[in-house]
Structure 1
Amino acid sequence: MTKRKHQLLTESERDQILAIPSERGHLARLYTFEPSDIEIIGARRERRNQLGVALQLALLRHPGITLAQLIQDKGAIPHDLAAFVAEQLGLHVTDLANYAARDQTMTDHARELAMRAGLRGPTRADIPFMIEAAAKTAWATDKGMTIAIGVVTALREARILLPSISTIERASSAGRARARKQAAYALIADLSAEQVHALDQVFDDAGGMSQLASLKTIPVAARPDHIRQILDRLRQVRKIGISPDVAGRIHADRFRQYVREGRASPAYMIERYIPSRRRATLVAFLLDLEERLTDNALEMADKLIGSIFTRAKNAQARSYATTSKNVARLMLIFRRTIDALTDAVDTGEDPMEALDAS
């Protein structure tokens, strides 16, 4: 799954783009011939041409390439495909012998079959179309495979055969670069000169670290001084004055990607980006940071208020416990007084003397 340097797709992904299934159910779904197909194939006299044309017809259908291109990309015709196609025609794979060696015949057959199917081969003039298709897909994602599939889908819808995987990959890469530029411009297009200056200043030193690095450090313990620090950061972010509406100018997934990049990348790395990418990343990151700082401040305030109530409740409980002990002592004295008076009445003693004695 390794990706070559400066390439969009891994080797595995490149193989998947033009993959030929090997499972029989998938082969049947993609390559079962209709009577009209059998008629076209049967018009060829030699068995090798019949099987060759059948394979051409199958490959034009999926993945949308010629037999010559498959051999060039894969080095050989997949046996499972050849066997499945041959079985439908009552032929054998060995009947294909020498067909692939005749380049002109393969080319002529591919051109004829493509015209019958309303398809045409790709040309250099299709490159801008492919790049635009890639840019539309990349508006929401940076994933190479997703973008390449977007290009392939656009070509199929336009009834254009697929070019080489390298061409698809280069067009996809160019489209992704275009989408990135468009998204960055959408985020920063309306920034004032003062806002641009403020964004560039977040890399200035602020007590041993850049302002951006300081902003990234959000206190988590619920303490009064931490709330002050969070509010200071919040005021600093809001002072730049970036409108939350900016986020809606690009696809939500692309915006979240900018946010993730801003969170994960250290300040020194973001500072090295080209200006448009750097400022777009900061815009997305600061909008997200403002929201997180607000939430953290409210959450921390709730915790502090809750702790105050808890302490007050505990103090009240302790006071209640002390009061309960005093009441118990008073009740004991009261009981003894009643008992002394009752005994005095029963024995005829002086009640006051009885109380003093108790």
Structure 2
Amino acid sequence: MAKVVVLLSPTQRTKLLQIPDNFSEREITRYYSLSTEDLAAIEQHRRPQNRLGFTVQLAYLRFPGRPWDPQEQVPPAILTYLAEQIGEAPDVLADYASRDPTRREHLSEIQRVFHFHPFTMQTYRDLSRWLMPIALSTDQGIVLMEALIEELRARHVLLPAVSTLERLGWETRRRAQQQVFTTLTEGLSQEQRKQLDALLVVATDGRRTPLAWLREPPGPAKPSSFLKVIERLQYIRAFGLDPLLTHRVHANRLRRLAHEGEQYTPQFLERFEPLRRYATLVAYLLDMTATLTDTALEMHDHIMGLLFKQGQKKHLAQFEQRGKAINEKVRLYADVGNALIKAKEEAADPYQALEAVLPWETFVSSVQEARTLARPADFDYLDLLDDHYSHIRKYAPELLETFTFHAAPSSQSVAEALTLVRDLGRKKVPENAPLDFIKPRWESHVVTDDGIDRHYYELCALSELRNGLRSGDIWVDGSHQYRQFEDYLLPTKDWQELRTTGTPPVAVPLDATTYLMERKTLLHEQLTRVGQMLKDNALPDVRIDKNKVRITPWTQRSRKGSKSWPAEHMRRCGGSRLLSC
């Protein structure tokens, strides 16, 4: 009995070759505008119903790519648009639908004149090879099927039955899956395979598998949690997996396999055939490496943020505690100042005037008290951070030992400083240490009369590491969130090859002028639509009152209404976000 191939859901299968119900005017214009060549072929037919029927058949062969079934109703907007272009009334199509021989003759003529081809076994083989790169990037059936249909339209090949396309997509996806499995596992040694198998086995002295241990949540952002994350990261690194595997397998495929490794129980994974099991575990460990890297760096971000908050809080608390004493000193010096001003005006002895307010010894002691109450001239809290240096040292050495930080030229001195701190241990910072990264706010704390303060040098470097990771000027290999910006882009070599060999698979025109014109057209359409909805009072919670646009505040909407409003907005605006135009 033949194996049943299932790639799509029943709903997806039904809609695949249908014209969408929500076709916009722009899409109708794109797919159903007739060229001069089209009109010349249509003019060869004299009767109105034949002219319109021929036009509809031609339109359907182009989109959705199959012959028109006379039993189905042509969407009114499309029928009207086609009829207007040839100067016929839409209702004459009813006379054409009943003439089967004429329809068949027209279909053959269209295929001959416009070079449409039947779907053959050779087409099946060609498309199987063509689809392979896409199948290596995703295993979503609907994506593969839509790509196949789009390519068939571009090649002017008549669409076969959905079951044929589904089998083609299924077989290609299966071959792509096997290729991904092989890529991830072909370099594994026997020892590495044993290590992977051990992930699924409960240790003799424990109650859980190593896989379950790796899946445990990292805990709150504090040094002890950070060290546990690093422990797991070092455990995975001990497998010796090739990090370049992440570049040999498409990110979507790798993420999908990693998700399976994360969700399935060890017992379920053990039932996989070996090739799939090892590939799934390798993908999971590679993805977990990046996840743990991101987690550790996020923890550093939170710990440093908490350090600054604690310093600021302590700074404010001290100021509040000393508020009464500071107020007393201010009032005292105001009295002293008034006495000195009066003495100058009356040409009196200023010292006698001062002692009339308070004894000299009391004045001297008050100055000493004022010094203890005074904060730094910039009224900053950085001088209080040294109290928390030991807390940072609980995890900082592991941070610097575990990760190699790369930097853009603007942050190169930060990377150099981090390397220096890592190699120093507990030694003093040398005089030739990098200082370019130190901001003016930190300078007086780092560079002192006694030389470079070790504590503040390290705290400043770790603070700038946090800033650099946030801005993207500093990155870490193997990270998802903190990787180099160029990793998000297509390699220059691949981009040039695509431009040379054919049209790059991007959803926008490569010409800037064309792209801007398209966006302007779309913007005009959307603004026109919104303007009409405003005029018809059809925008939810928006109205025109006395020539002004009134928008109901969000806080006045009910809880139930606030949930439905975004979806209602998207429905009314045809799926376009107003601000994305």
CA contact (8 A) 2:255 2:287 kept: no
Q: Which amino acid aligns with 1:286?
A: L
Question: 1:27–1:247: structure 2 CA closer, same or farther, 3 Å change rule?
Answer: closer
| Runs of 5+ unmatched residues, structure 2 | 315-360, 363-581
Once the 2 structures are TM-superposed, how far is the Cα of residue 292 of structure 1 from its aligned partner? 4.0
**In structure 1, distance between residues paired with 2:57 and 2:272:** 48
Aligned to 1:34: 35
8 Å Cα contact 2:6/2:166 also seen in 1: no
Residues 49 and 286 (structure 1), Cα distance of their counterparts in 2 relative to 1, 3 Å cut: same
In structure 2, what is the equivalent of residue 217 of structure 1?
216
Instruction: Give the structure 2 partner of residue 149 of structure 1.
Output: 146
Alpha-carbon distance in 2 for matches of 1:76, 1:298: 59
Instruction: Kindly tell me the number of residue pairs found equivalent between the two proteins.
Output: 308
Give the helix-richer structure, 1 or 2: 1
Query: Could you tell me whether the CA contact under 8 Å between 1:67 and 1:106 is conserved in 2?
Result: no
Taking only aligned residues, the RMSD between alpha carbons, in angstroms, comes to 3.7
Question: 1: distance between equivalents of 2:6 and 2:16?
Answer: 19
1:243 deviation in Å?
1.4
Mapping 1:4-23, distance limit 5 Å: 6-9=6-9, 11=11, 14-15=14-15, 17-19=17-19, 22-23=23-24
Deviations 1:44-67 (A, max 9, x none): 243332221111122223232222
The partner residue of 1:185 within 155, 175, 182 is 182
Q: 1:130: Cα distance to partner? A: 3.0
The answer as to 2:295 corresponding to 1:290 is no
Q: Is the 8 A contact 2:261 2:280 kept in 1?
A: yes
Equivalent residue letter for 2:29: A
Q: 1:10 to 1:130 in 2, by over 3 A?
A: farther
* 1:271–1:105 distance in 2 versus 1, CA, 3 Å: farther
Supply the distance in 2 between the matched residues of 1:129 and 1:9 (Cα, whole angstroms): 26
Q: Which amino acid aligns with 1:288?
A: D
Q: Label 1:81 to 1:219 Cα distance change in 2 as closer, same or farther (>3 A).
A: closer
2: distance between equivalents of 1:91 and 1:297? 69
Unaligned runs of at least 5 residues, structure 1: 315-334, 337-358
- What secondary structure does 2:277 align onto? helix
Q: 1:266 Cα deviation (Å)? A: 3.6
Code of the residue aligned with 1:245 in structure 2: it is: L
Counterpart residue number, 1:93: 90
Q: Counterpart in 2 of 1:113?
A: 110
Distance 1:288 1:272 in 2: 22
Alignment of 1:1-358 (within 5 A): 6-9=6-9, 11=11, 14-15=14-15, 17-19=17-19, 22-68=23-69, 71=70, 75-206=72-203, 207-221=206-220, 229-230=228-229, 232-293=231-292
User: Which secondary structure state, in structure 2, belongs to the residue aligned with residue 99 of structure 1?
Assistant: helix
The C-alpha deviation readout for 1:188-209, integer Å capped at 9, x for no partner, is 1111122122212211113232
Q: Is the 8 A contact 1:20 1:78 kept in 2?
A: no
Query: Residue type matched to 2:41 in 1?
Result: I
Counterpart residue identity of residue 209, structure 1: R
Identity %: 32
Summarize the Cα distance change of 1:35–1:6 in structure 2 as closer, same or farther, 3 Å threshold: closer
41 and 260 in structure 1: CA distance in 2 versus 1, 3 angstrom threshold: same
| Contact in 2 for aligned 1:203/1:271 (Cα 8 Å) | yes
